[in-house]
Amino acid sequence: MNHRAGRYHKIYGQPLTAAPLVFRGARPEFGEAEAGYALVALLAVMTVLALFALAAAPSIRQQSQREQEKEAIFRGEQVAEAIRLFYVNRPRTTGAAGDAALPNSMDQLLEGIPKPGGSKKIQILRPSAARDPLSESGDWQLVRPRSQSLVDFQRTVMLYAGNVLPTPRGEMQALQQFAVPAITSVLSTGLSEPAPAEEDLSADSTGPFVGVRSGSRSKAVVYYYGIDRHNQWIFTPLFK
């Protein structure tokens, strides 16, 4: 069968059509605009994340401080218990009493107390507890018997306990009587200003001490007997 030459292709008689033109590498007209919108959106997200980080930073710092303060209280109360054990044991081994039965340095607490019937000693204080986690030096401030800071702390404890001074255990009752003056009521005497930090000596000094306190003067997040200053927290067996 003969086909006339014309617009039909010689195979299957399909009409000839022009192939579509393809421009390789061409970009849509709206590509640059989309890229700009994406950059703006990314900057907005980064700004929001930065604001969230700034808002969370104080909370993170406060939580870190709270954990440090809890650790300081834990260690301080361990030191107080070590002082109690030292004081109770001293008269039995040396016959000392009063101030003479108190430890004179942190090293004495770390050395421990003699084990009954032997030459070895019983550990009463862990080395880590002998360090103050709140101060830069790491040294506890030693609190002396009858010091003004101890008197102030006694009044605070009484106020916190409802105008009643807690009675310590056993031999510590006698120690309480001569280590701090007797106070019948804080409601009538009021609370004096906290004693300056220079009153209590560092762990490098010697002399009888009945408690310790932190060398940090920062404001606390945690309250200890209602006190919100690190250097006003006193860890002593006198009121337990």
Query: What digits encode the pLDDT tens for the residues 16-25?
Result: 555 555 545 5
More confident: 155 or 187? 155
The arithmetic mean of pLDDT across residues 88-116, rounded, is 88
User: End-to-end alpha-carbon separation of the chain, Å?
Assistant: 121
With a pLDDT cut of 70, the percent of the chain lying above it is 75
Is the pLDDT at 130 greater than 90, yes or no? yes
The arithmetic mean of pLDDT across residues 217-236, rounded, is 95
